Amino acid sequence: MADDTPRVDRPLFMISMAAELAAMHPQTLRLYERRGLLAPRRSAKNTRLYSLDDVARLRRIQQLTELGLNLAGVERVLELEREMTAMRERVERLQAELAETVARMHSEMRAVERSFRHDLVPVAKTMAVIHVDRRKKR
């Protein structure tokens, strides 16, 4: 059974279609590529091919520039967003690892408790101290 789910990272569009989808001029896409903001794949004949991810990134760049950021600012924001995504993924992995460790610890604690001998009853020791004064009374 084939998976018919479209992959957002699959290169589908030539530059003119990607530019139209992002409501930009094709030259703007070339500029963004030169600046390193975008890295479309290339066909065997070296034609730029853009994916749905690329189009979404173009729209994000457009949002940021409309907010007044220059391209250096856009680069920084995109880098920070990438780092934040990576950190979120790391936190999720660490949380899953912690949950597994806690479950394993509880399992080991139950095993230790089951190994206790329940036929022995702990008895508290009590001591009485009697003090005898052997000095002569006068």
Give the domain ranges of the chain: 1-68, 70-117
- What is the arithmetic mean of pLDDT over 87-116? 94
pLDDT at 137 over 70: no
CATH 1.10.10.410 assigned to domain 1-68? The reply is: no
pLDDT at 130 over 80: no
∠ Cα 53 7 4 (to 5°): 155
- What is the arithmetic mean of pLDDT over 4-25? 85
Interatomic CA distance for residues 116 and 109, integer angstroms: 11
